């Protein structure tokens, strides 16, 4: 196992294009430094952080701030106040006797405004194991489902999209019939405008029902890699934002969202169509005359990271997988009194019943990850509360194939432009 640690703990007093923990265009800046450079501790070892608060680039002195500390995604088990001296204070986060993370939230009031900040540290996360069980018929269930879905004819509509094309890239909006007759998914296909055959990257989307724009990943095709940014709901991705907002509202949110639709029965769960449509997308991509016939890589973040790993397990045509902070991972982990995966079903009534937990076993990333045989690259941040680091570690720990982790501790639910390039470079390193 190869593990890289990116300790991106430099901070900028002036406005910088950094999100969440380090918001741009803010007069106030928090900096929290764990006493271990890798943010990790052994079980039973005390973790200590130094917290600093700056306003207009200068330390805020003699200011009282409040804090809450507790296990990741769980109620706080200690809270209190600290007084900043020369803009700094030191706080013990305690320890943990079980593998996982502890989270510390800070709050300060300045000039009538409230500013919040949080930071997590880990305790032997390499020892984390899934709560989710592996059903005896898991493999046979999905083999039968794939066989049935494969009987659906593949119908393709492909339309050139000039606004997402340039001198180096041709972009197409593609409509694919998938899963069963009358069902479809869409995607933007970006192909290098030059002679030759190229690797293909299959890129499923993050969670939600929203418009798509392939521009931020156009550098893939500009670098000589075909990329397919997939839509999973059967809704044209070029509709305007207002229309998508109406569609999303009609689908429902929270305990009525598509991620819980049909969860009482494994055959009726909404995500079955999604998983099998991802396989159908590969059926299309492997027919492209521009494909090199060898390299088919799955790549995505959050829900897209989950779908990238799941599709890799379902289809032997995929040769490598890169996933950022995957969602849908150990979703029932809250039953073990620790953080579980997005969509955090513990927040909704009657969502972690025995029947629903049984369905989740057939759809959870951790069970698909156990079947992967090709190289996997994963990246995640410790301060992520959407896809908690506990669940990323659980997935990473069960992988038996060649694997590499690129950990960016300060990150919340985002990756930097630098990390996007690191992912592409890793993909290129795995080309045959």
Tens digit of each residue's pLDDT (9 = 90 or more) over 38-58? 999 999 999 999 999 999 999
**Look-up: residue for tokens 């003699």?**
62
Mean pLDDT of the chain: 93
Tens digit of each residue's pLDDT (9 = 90 or more) over 208-239? 999 999 999 999 999 999 999 999 999 999 99
CA 92 to chain centre: 30
Q: 12 pLDDT band (50/70/90 cuts)?
A: very low
Model confidence pTM above 0.85: yes
Q: Is 217 annotated as catalytic?
A: no
Q: Is 233 annotated as catalytic?
A: no
pLDDT at 349 (0 to 100): 85
Report the SS3 class of residue 34: strand
Given a cut of 60, whether residue 61 has pLDDT beyond it is yes
Given a cut of 50, whether residue 108 has pLDDT beyond it is yes
Query: What's the CATH code, domain 138-429?
Result: 3.40.50.1820
Catalytic residue among 315, 325, 413, 416: 413
135: phi then psi, degrees, rounded to nearest 5: -65, 145
Tens digit of each residue's pLDDT (9 = 90 or more) over 248-285? 888 888 888 999 999 999 999 999 999 999 999 999 99
Given a cut of 90, whether residue 429 has pLDDT beyond it is yes
What is the pLDDT averaged over residues 385-390? 98
| Burial (0-12, 13-18, 19+ Cβ within 10 Å), 181 | exposed
Separation of alpha carbons 216 and 417, rounded Å: 9
User: Pairing relation of β-strands 47-55 and 403-407?
Assistant: unpaired
Separation of alpha carbons 367 and 362, rounded Å: 7
Catalytic residue among 103, 315, 330, 384: 384
Q: Is 413 annotated as catalytic?
A: yes
The dihedral through the CA atoms of 73, 74, 77, 83 has a sign that is positive
Which tokens sit at 61?
């002195």
What is the pLDDT averaged over residues 133-161? 97
pLDDT at 398 (0 to 100): 98
pLDDT at 99 (0 to 100): 98
Query: What's the CATH code, domain 13-127?
Result: 2.60.40.1930
197: phi then psi, degrees, rounded to nearest 5: -125, 150
**Look-up: residue for tokens 């076993």?**
361
pLDDT at 25 (0 to 100): 73
Given a cut of 90, whether residue 368 has pLDDT beyond it is yes
CA 22 to chain centre: 20
What is the pLDDT averaged over residues 78-84? 97
Of 379, 365, 372, which Cα lies nearest the Cα of 401? 372
- The residues facing 173 across adjacent strands are 159, 188
pLDDT at 205 (0 to 100): 96
Q: 24 pLDDT band (50/70/90 cuts)?
A: low
Say if CB 205 and CB 230 are below 8 A apart.
Answer: yes
E strands in 6-125 = 28-34, 40-41, 47-55, 58-59, 64-71, 78-83, 88-94, 100-110, 113-123
Q: 22 pLDDT band (50/70/90 cuts)?
A: low
Of 181, 363, 332, which Cα lies nearest the Cα of 265? 363
Catalytic residue among 190, 302, 329, 392: 302
Given a cut of 80, whether residue 18 has pLDDT beyond it is no
User: Pairing relation of β-strands 403-407 and 2-5?
Assistant: parallel
Which tokens sit at 237?
């991705």
Domain ranges in the chain are 13-127, 138-429
From residue 52, give the alpha-carbon distance in Å to each of 69, 73, 103: 17, 24, 17
Separation of alpha carbons 187 and 192, rounded Å: 16
Instruction: Give one word for 131, left, alpha or beta, with left for phi > 0 and alpha for psi -120 to 50.
Output: alpha
Given a cut of 50, whether residue 5 has pLDDT beyond it is no
Share of the chain above pLDDT 70, in %: 94
pLDDT at 248 (0 to 100): 87
Greater confidence (3 vs 308) lies with: 308
Given a cut of 70, whether residue 14 has pLDDT beyond it is no
Share of the chain above pLDDT 90, in %: 88
Report the SS3 class of residue 431: coil
What is the pLDDT averaged over residues 191-218? 95
Report the SS3 class of residue 50: strand
């Amino acid at each position: 196992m190869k593990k890289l640690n990116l300790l991106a703990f430099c901070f900028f007093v002036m406005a910088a294009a950094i999100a969440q923990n380090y918001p741009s265009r803010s007069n106030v800046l928090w900096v929290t430094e764990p006493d271990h450079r890798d943010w990790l501790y052994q079980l039973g070892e005390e973790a200590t952080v130094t917290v600093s608060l700056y306003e207009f680039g200068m330390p805020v002195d003699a200011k009282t701030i409040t804090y809450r500390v507790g296990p990741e995604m769980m109620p706080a088990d200690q809270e209190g106040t600290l007084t900043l001296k020369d803009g700094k204070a030191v706080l013990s986060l305690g320890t943990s006797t079980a593998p996982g993370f502890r989270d510390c939230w800070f709050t300060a009031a300045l000039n009538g405004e409230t500013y919040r900040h949080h930071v997590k540290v880990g305790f032997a996360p390499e020892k984390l194991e899934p709560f989710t069980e592996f059903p005896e018929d898991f493999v046979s269930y999905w083999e039968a489902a794939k066989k049935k879905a494969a009987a659906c004819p593949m119908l393709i509509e492909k339309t050139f999209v000039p606004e997402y094309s340039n001198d180096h890239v041709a972009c197409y909006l593609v409509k694919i019939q998938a899963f069963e007759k009358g069902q479809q998914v869409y995607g933007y296909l970006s192909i290098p405008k030059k002679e030759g055959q190229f690797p293909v990257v299959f890129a499923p989307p993050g969670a939600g029902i929203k418009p798509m724009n392939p521009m931020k990943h156009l550098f893939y095709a500009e670098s000589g890699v075909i990329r397919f940014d997939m839509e999973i709901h059967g809704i044209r991705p070029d509709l305007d934002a207002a229309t998508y907002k109406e569609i999303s509202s009609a689908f429902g949110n929270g305990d009525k969202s598509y991620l819980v639709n049909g969860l009482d029965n494994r055959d009726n769960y909404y995500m079955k169509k999604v998983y099998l449509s991802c396989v159908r997308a590969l059926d299309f991509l492997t027919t492209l005359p521009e494909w090199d016939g060898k390299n088919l890589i799955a790549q995505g973040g959050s829900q897209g990271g989950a779908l990238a790993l799941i599709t890799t397990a379902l289809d032997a045509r995929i040769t490598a997988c890169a996933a950022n902070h995957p969602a849908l991972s150990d979703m029932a982990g809250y039953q073990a009194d620790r953080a579980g995966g997005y969509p955090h079903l513990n927040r909704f009534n009657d969502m972690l019943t025995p029947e629903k937990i049984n369905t989740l076993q057939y759809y959870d990333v951790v069970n698909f990850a156990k079947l992967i045989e090709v190289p996997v690259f994963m990246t995640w941040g410790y301060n992520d509360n959407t896809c908690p680091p506990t669940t990323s570690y659980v997935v990473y720990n069960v992988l038996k194939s060649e694997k590499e982790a690129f950990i960016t501790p300060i990150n919340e639910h985002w990756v930097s432009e630098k990390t996007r390039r690191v992912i592409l470079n890793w993909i290129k390193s795995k080309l045959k």
